[in-house]
């Protein structure tokens, strides 16, 4: 896994048109109002540095999945308004992302102006990594900066295609992400604890396999725990189980045993009779009987997990411990969040739900690194190379 990307310091930015791939795929409500601008704020240090060094930032981003067509509600209008508010410097939002009119608007924009292009996924070639589209993007700039960690696991035209055509480097956000995952995957301080949750065990088995060679223990929660428990012949009632993954789970557990790495599973659960927010919550032991289903780790497990986390020097957390969106089943995830926040070691939280849980508990400022890319962070934890980072590393090596 090559995480040695070129940096912003390696580029001459003065009087240059600087194409910056950002990840402004932010949540919006039904009225089109942005409900969380974390990703926008996270990229502003890069934009401000480009401005300070005399460059003209030209921002490219996707929003949603318009599938290569113009979808009015997926325009970056609201995003542009928020960027302009936060930057408080000259700003221009364009209604297209390629073509002569765009090039002309960029050329006429006053110095110190930040320009936001329209949703790059309005072009069918974006997600296909189309070389011709990448060339059209590249015409608009002199150098390229990738600051979109959340899109760096995709070989798309605006992520990798431009980088292959222009001098390129990682922005400050991407640089922070690279350093955080390098620290936990290449030189973690021991003991190293991984906390894995979420609904589907199939989403996390590759992560388990890759981390077994690095961690001292894995704490499992969420829906994925019930497939592990079923594999151990425990009763799980009506809990979520991926039957087709049981053999793979058994293989993972045998590998962990051979390597002397414990995989801790919930010893008690918070259960309901229906998968519904208003179902009555009851505490069950390790076995869950019909008609109940597990919806959160129980209090004994939460305490045990918190004790393991408190003793760690490195912690990676990906995936909630239960259905934390429902107040009655939020306790396990919040207990883990508090433990991670209080841990004196180096802590990394990745994955949209885990990040949302930390922010919901008001603990985000106490986590050493919160990743802005759920899918990208998961692939790094699986040991995969991210195309958007790899191309920056390849260009640096030349």
Cα(210)–Cα(142) distance, rounded to whole angstroms? Answer: 39
Catalytic residue among 54, 139, 164, 375: 375
Q: Which 3 state secondary structure label does DSSP give 369?
A: strand
Catalytic residue among 352, 373, 374, 388: 352
Cα(348)–Cα(184) distance, rounded to whole angstroms? Answer: 8
Contact of 188 with 164, CB cutoff 8 Å: no
39 is catalytic: yes
375 is catalytic: yes
Catalytic residue among 16, 21, 39, 395: 39
Write out the H or E segment, with its range, that includes residue 210: helix 205-211
Catalytic residue among 182, 200, 300, 313: 200
Write out the H or E segment, with its range, that includes residue 302: helix 299-310
For the chain, the farthest-separated pair of C-alpha atoms sits apart, in whole angstroms, at 69
Q: How far is CA 100 from CA 68, 97, 106, 139, in A?
A: 20, 10, 10, 10
Q: How far is CA 214 from CA 167, 184, 254, 379, in A?
A: 35, 9, 16, 16
Go through the chain and tell me how many residues it has.
398
Q: Which residues are catalytic?
A: 39, 200, 352, 375
């Amino acid at each position: 896994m090559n995480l040695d990307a070129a940096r912003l310091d390696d580029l001459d930015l003065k009087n240059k048109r600087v194409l910056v791939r950002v990840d402004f795929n932010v949540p919006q409500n039904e009225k089109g109002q942005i409900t969380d601008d974390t990703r926008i704020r996270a990229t502003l240090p890069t934009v401000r540095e480009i401005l300070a060094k005399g460059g003209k930032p030209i921002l490219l981003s996707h929003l949603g999945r318009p599938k290569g067509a113009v979808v009015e509600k997926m325009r970056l209008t609201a995003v542009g308004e928020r960027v302009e508010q936060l930057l408080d410097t000259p700003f221009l939002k364009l209604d297209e992302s390629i073509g002569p009119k765009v090039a002309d608007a960029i050329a006429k924009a006053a110095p110190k102006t930040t320009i936001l292009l329209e949703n790059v996924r309005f072009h069918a070639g974006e997600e296909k990594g189309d070389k011709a589209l990448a060339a059209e993007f590249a015409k608009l700039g002199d150098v390229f900066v990738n600051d979109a960690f959340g899109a760096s696991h995709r070989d798309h035209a605006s992520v990798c295609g431009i980088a292959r055509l222009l001098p390129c480097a990682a922005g400050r956000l991407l640089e922070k992400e690279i350093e955080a995952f390098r620290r936990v995957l290449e030189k973690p301080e021991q003991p190293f604890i991984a906390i894995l949750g979420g609904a589907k065990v199939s989403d996390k088995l590759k992560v388990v396999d890759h981390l077994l060679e690095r961690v001292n223990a894995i704490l499992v929660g969420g829906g994925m725990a019930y497939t592990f428990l079923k594999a151990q012949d425990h009763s799980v009632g009506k809990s979520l189980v991926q039957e087709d993954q049981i053999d793979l789970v058994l293989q993972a557990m045998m590998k962990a045993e051979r390597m002397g790495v414990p995989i801790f599973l919930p010893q008690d659960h918070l259960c309901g009779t229906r998968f519904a927010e208003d179902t009555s919550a009851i505490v069950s032991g390790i076995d869950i009987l019909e008609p109940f289903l597990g919806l959160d780790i129980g209090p004994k497990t939460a305490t045990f997990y918190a004790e393991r986390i408190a003793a760690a020097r490195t912690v990676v957390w990906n995936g909630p411990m239960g259905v934390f969106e429902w107040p009655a089943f939020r306790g396990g995830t919040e207990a883990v969040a508090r433990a991670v926040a209080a841990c004196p070691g180096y802590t990394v939280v990745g994955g949209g739900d885990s990040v949302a849980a930390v922010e919901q508990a008001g603990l985000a400022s106490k986590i050493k690194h919160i990743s802005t890319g759920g899918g990208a962070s998961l692939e790094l934890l699986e040991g995969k190379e991210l195309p958007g980072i790899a191309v920056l590393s390849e260009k640096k090596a030349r």
